[in-house]
Amino acid sequence: MSTSERSARRAVGMLLGMVLVAALSSAEGCADETQCIRHTDCAGGACVAGRCVRPVADAAVDGGADAAVDSATGAVDAAGDADAATSDAADGVDAQADAPRSADASEADASAADASVD
């Protein structure tokens, strides 16, 4: 066997080995789509420590939206509290108005109505 034939055989063997390694790595590498080694491996994101992460801007938007929802919920709750207070106050006014008209009304009831208005 000549030197060139030996070299050719070695080259072919090396190529076959590389094909095997590439096939095995391909089967494992595609399993986790969030794995990355380049920023452009991540659709619209960045590659940090081998994992795709969203850009800071997106995270900020999401965080802002959450905060806005929380604030809105709080505002609704506060409005509900205000309505309840208004309702309580109205009840108090009604009770106060009814007290003088009722012959059986006691001073204790009127005091309770005043307390509700306050």
Partner 1 sequence: MRRVLAFLLGAAVLVDAPGAARASGPLFGAFVEAAGGIDLAGGKGIFLAQRSRTQVRLGATLRLDGLPRDALFVAALVEVEPRPSLGFDVQWAHHVLPVLSVQAGVTGVAAPETLFGVTGGARLRIPLGSRFRITAGPQVSGYFLGGDLPDGSVIVQTLLLLGTHVDF
Residue ranges that bind partner 1, judged by CB under 8 A? 3-4, 7-8, 11-12, 14-15, 18-19, 21-22, 25-26, 28-30, 35-41, 46-50
The Cα–Cα gap between 5 and 2 comes to 5
In the complex, what is the shortest distance from the CB of residue 45 to partner 1, in angstroms, rounded to a whole number?
A: 12
Report CA-CA distances (Å) from 42 to 12, 102, 110.
35, 77, 71
36 φ, ψ (degrees, to nearest 5): -150, 155
Residue 13 or 63 having the CB closest to partner 1: 13
What distance in Å separates the CA atoms of residue 49 and residue 6, rounded to the nearest whole number? Answer: 43
Phi, psi of 52 (to 5 degrees): -75, 135
Decide whether 48 or 90 has the Cβ nearer to partner 1: 48
Measure the CA–CA gap between 47 and 38, rounded to whole angstroms. Answer: 6
Nearer to partner 1, 29 or 80 (CB): 29
Residue 73 CB, nearest approach to partner 1 (Å): 39
Residue 38 CB, nearest approach to partner 1 (Å): 5
**Minimum gap (Å) between residue 26 Cβ and partner 1:** 4
Which of residues 49 and 103 has its CB atom nearest to partner 1 in the complex? 49
